[in-house]
Chains A and B, each alone.
Chain A
Amino acid sequence: MATKWPIIGHHHAVSLLQREVARGELAHAYLFAGPPQIGKQTLSSILAQALLCQGDDPPCGDCDSCRRVVRRQHPDLQILDLPAQTRLLGEKTSAQHVLKIETIRKVQQGLFRRPLQADHKVILIPEAHLMTTAAANAFLKTLEEPPPYALLLLTTTQVEDLLPTIVSRCQVVPLHLLRITEIETALQRPPWKLEAAQARLLAHLSGGRIGWAIRAHEDSSVLEERQETLETLQRVLAGDDLERMEIAERMARLPDQGMETLAAWSTWWRDLLLLQSGADNGLTNVDRRDELARVARVWDVAETYSALSTLQETISALEHNVNALLAWEAFLLSLSVSGQPAESRT
């Protein structure tokens, strides 16, 4: 059996791929599908490394080939994301939202030149759903008849946005959120070596997304922003209509931040609901347990539930391009003030 691949979680997928690599029975194309930041790209990159490795025990992590893959400098590995497209087409970075057919065509041309250093050529498309329909249709040709040395790796967070014809021509490897304990344990090991408490906090906050946990560890602003987001929620709950309308206006102006805020708030309400129903495990915001417990005593389950559903409706409304300011105002004004139902305020 090969060495353990440096992947956290996803045991099923890893052992499947390890077996296929060892037997030389890899499919010509894989599609890794699952939520964001759980290690899809890491897994596909390790698979590429295993295939291109020149060492005895692939991926050895030590040979020239492995090191080039890690640095993303391997001539037989083409990573096709938006920055790569910018370089390939010589376009402006700001003009990149989708993967275009011109890019796919260029890559296809290169694919028929045999590999340079390794025995294989790997094409990795990290966000396959960014392909336009024309690009995806052009890529079908390659998926159907790739040269024998080619391995095509696609990852996506939105498998439903891919053409069914693309999906059916790949071996689909569904990946799921990691267990909180897996992340907690991993964060205490090298290279991160976090304190137990910090590992626990990040693992819980990550909601099973190892990538988020690592980013939060490496970039302190991630945690600071979350702190700020939850403070804003406290201000909303304690504030009057005027203050809520100010907050609504600010959120409506920054759509991305607004969505992140709603996502963070929903974890807070979910925790509240858990505490109110007597469940003590599975909290996300473990560092706010005291505050949550206090609110849980004031609010009743029905109120929490109603707030959480309004929040979900707001997220869905914003995703469907409603007037952001109105959506935010309607949501924030409907919330109770510190435990008092909205109706009883006036």
Chain B
Amino acid sequence: MRVSCLQENLAKGVAIVGRAVASRSTLPVLENIYVGTDDGRLKLAATNLEIGITCWIGAQVEEEGEISVPARVVTDLVNSSPPERIDMALNVRTQTLQIHCAQFQAQLKGIDASDFPIIPTAEQDKAIHVAPDTLREMISQVTFAAATDETRPILTGVLTEFEGASLTMASADGFRISVRKAPLPEEVPESFRVIIPARALQEVARIMGDQEDPVEILVTQKRNQVLFHMQNIDLVSQLIEGNFPDYRQILPSSHVTRTVVDTGEFLRAIRRARIFARDAANMVRLQISGESTEGPARVRIVAEAAELGDNVEEIGASVEGEDIEIAFNVRYLIDVLGVLNSAQTIIETTDATSRGVILPASNDDFTHVIMPMHIGQRG
């Protein structure tokens, strides 16, 4: 292999695929980055067997070839190189990659590319197109509610359903549920559902960058992987095996109190409440009352920490239904309010021990459910 490319491009490519390099694995080759020629371009790839990222960068290919080299070394080397042309040459016999840039010349001992797992890349025909902004927003609205605790592998994933002309993503971690729907530009020929690791989706959102063309999504024939095809980048994620809990059954179908608040104001108040709540099991109490002789409709946000003191804040609201006091984990509220994308927030509650629902006022494509905390259980 003999290839030349610009340091800037190589550094960018290595940074993108570097996100998928395994830190600790039983297969040494997974700590490497695949470097190979592909149709006049340079192909870089890495995988940790959960996600695999392939990235193509412009290069001048003089001789075809492929190798895998230690990710850490090649990343550090390329990042510390001057912004000039980098020449790479592979010695097939010794499996050594020679990197030459400006005044330095490095020899990198690699592992045969045939040891590198085969990462599927896009076959264009059956792809489902999703607008990048929509996908980015969906990912931000569901992935945070997925479990990070690996004892329940299913819940570390996001249930992704393609049905007719709509795409639904749902996640749950046992305390909250996040569901986001979006229309698809065209109907899928066959409905299907897969569980995609939340980590993989977060990676997709990250590497999507300023992509403007639709992201192409396709699931491999054996339903083992999902592939996100972007401009010059493919991300493949292994799917999670198992049955996702039927979250639709858990979504509350009715409510007693419906409260509408200003999202920004509410979020700022909750953030202040957190200063005290974090020392009190993260509990913040919402005292919601309708218009009465005592004053207009309002939400009182109360956080008390036994050792520290307390904070009380009142914000204006419009309240339909009975007065209620309900406690939530302050972190969960901050998480959801940060991704709501609506000027006003709807809070639907039934009683102090029933699930609360957080909705954007501006549209009905997002639903978030949070389990309340017992008001007795103060930290």
Residues of chain B within 8 A of A75, CB atoms compared? 27, 47, 49, 117
Per-position 1/0 for A108-142, Cβ under 8 A of B = 11101111110100000000000000000000000
Task: Decide if B26 touches A119 in the complex (CB within 8 Å).
Answer: no
- Asked if B212 is at the interface (CB within 8 A of a chain A CB), the reply is no
The answer to whether A114 and B240 touch across the interface, beta carbons within 8 angstroms, is yes
* Residues in B whose Cβ lies below 8 Å from that of A71: 115
Given the complex of chains A and B, what is the CA–CA distance between A90 and B23 in angstroms?
9
A87 near B241: Cβ-Cβ < 8 Å: no
Contacts of A113 in B (CB 8 A): 49-50, 197, 238-241
Could you tell me if B50 and A110 are in contact, using CB atoms closer than 8 angstroms?
A: yes
Say yes or no: B154 contacts A112, CB within 8 Å. Answer: yes
Query: Which residues between 72 and 125 of chain A lie within 8 Å of chain B, taking CB atoms?
Result: 73, 75, 78-80, 84, 87-90, 105, 108-110, 112-117, 119
In Å, the complex CA distance between A250 and B115 comes to 46
Assembled-state Cα–Cα distance A112/B237 (Å): 13
Given A75-B27, A79-B26, A88-B24, are A114 and B238 neighbors across the interface (CB < 8 Å)? yes
Residue pair A114, B224 in contact (C-beta under 8 Å): yes
Cβ of B154: which chain A residues have Cβ within 8 Å of it? 112
Which residues of the other chain, B, contact A87 by a CB distance below 8 angstroms? Answer: 24-26, 28
A270 at the A/B interface (Cβ < 8 Å)?
A: no
Q: Please tell me if the beta carbons of B115 and A115 are within 8 angstroms of each other in the complex.
A: no
Closest to A110 in B: B49
Alpha-carbon separation in the docked complex, A67 to B114 (Å): 10
Q: A147 at the A/B interface (Cβ < 8 Å)?
A: yes
**A305 on interface, CB distance cutoff 8 Å:** no
Q: How far is the CB of B52 from chain A (nearest CB, A)?
A: 8
Interface positions, chain B 103-146, Cβ under 8 Å from A, are 114-115, 117-118
Instruction: Give Cα distance in the complex from A119 to B223, angstroms.
Output: 10
> A73 near B24 (CB under 8 angstroms)?
no
- Interface assignment of B96: CB less than 8 Å from any CB of chain A: no
- Asked if A116 and B242 make an inter-chain contact with CB atoms under 8 angstroms apart, the answer reads no
Q: In this complex, which of A79, A112, A147 has the most chain B Cβ atoms within 10 angstroms of its Cβ?
A: A112
Q: How far is A116 from B50 in the complex, measured between Cα atoms in Å?
A: 9
CB-CB under 8 A from A110, the residues of chain B are: 49-50
Cα-based distance from A67 to B241 in the complex (angstroms): 27
Q: CB within 8 Å of A: which of B214-239?
A: 222-225, 238-239
Give the docked Cα–Cα distance between A148 and B224 (Å): 12
Determine if A112 and B241 form an interchain contact, defined as CB atoms under 8 angstroms apart.
yes
* Residue pair A115, B117 in contact (C-beta under 8 Å): no
Q: Does B210 lie at the interface of the complex (its beta carbon under 8 Å from any beta carbon of A)?
A: no
Determine the chain A residues whose CB is within 8 A of the CB of B25 once the complex forms.
Answer: 87-88
A228 to B118, CA, bound (A): 50
B370 within 8 A of A: no
Q: Which residues of B contact A89 (CB under 8 A)?
A: 24
Chain B interface, >50% SS class? loop
Closest to A119 in B: B222
Q: Which residues of A contact B20 (CB under 8 A)?
A: none
Given A147-B241, A149-B241 in contact, is the A114-B225 Cβ separation under 8 Å? Answer: yes
Cβ proximity bits B140-169 to A, threshold 8 Å, 1 near / 0 not: 000000000010011000000000000000
Q: Let me know if A68 is at the binding interface, CB within 8 A.
A: yes
| Interface residue B270 (Cβ < 8 Å from any Cβ of A) | no
* Docked complex Cα distance between A75 and B48 (Å): 9
Cβ-based interface call for B29 (8 A): yes
How many angstroms between the C-alpha atoms of A115 and B239 in the bound complex?
Answer: 9
Interface residue ranges of A229-270 to B (CB < 8 Å): none
**Chain B residue with Cβ nearest A114:** B224
Distance (Å) between the CB of A65 and the closest chain B CB?
A: 10
What distance in Å separates the Cβ of A344 from its nearest Cβ neighbour in chain B? 61
Contact A105/B115 with A88-B26, A90-B24 known, Cβ cut-off 8 Å: no
- Which of A68, A84, A114, A116 sits near B26, CB closer than 8 Å? A84
Nearest chain B CB to A88 CB, angstrom units: 6
Using known A-B contacts A79-B26, A84-B26, determine if residue A114 contacts B153 with beta carbons closer than 8 Å: no
Chain B residues in 8 Å Cβ range of A148? 241
**Residues 19-52 of B at the A interface (beta carbon under 8 Å):** 24-29, 47, 49-50
5 shortest A-B CB distances, which residue pairs? A112-B153, A113-B238, A75-B117, A114-B224, A84-B26
Chain B residues packing against A (C-beta within 8 Å): 24-29, 47, 49-50, 114-115, 117-118, 150, 153-154, 197, 222-225, 238-242
For the complex with contacts A75-B117, A112-B154, A114-B224, 15 further pairs of A-B residues with Cβ separation under 8 Å are A64-B118, A68-B115, A73-B115, A75-B27, A75-B49, A87-B24, A87-B28, A88-B26, A113-B49, A113-B197, A113-B241, A116-B47, A117-B117, A148-B241, A149-B241
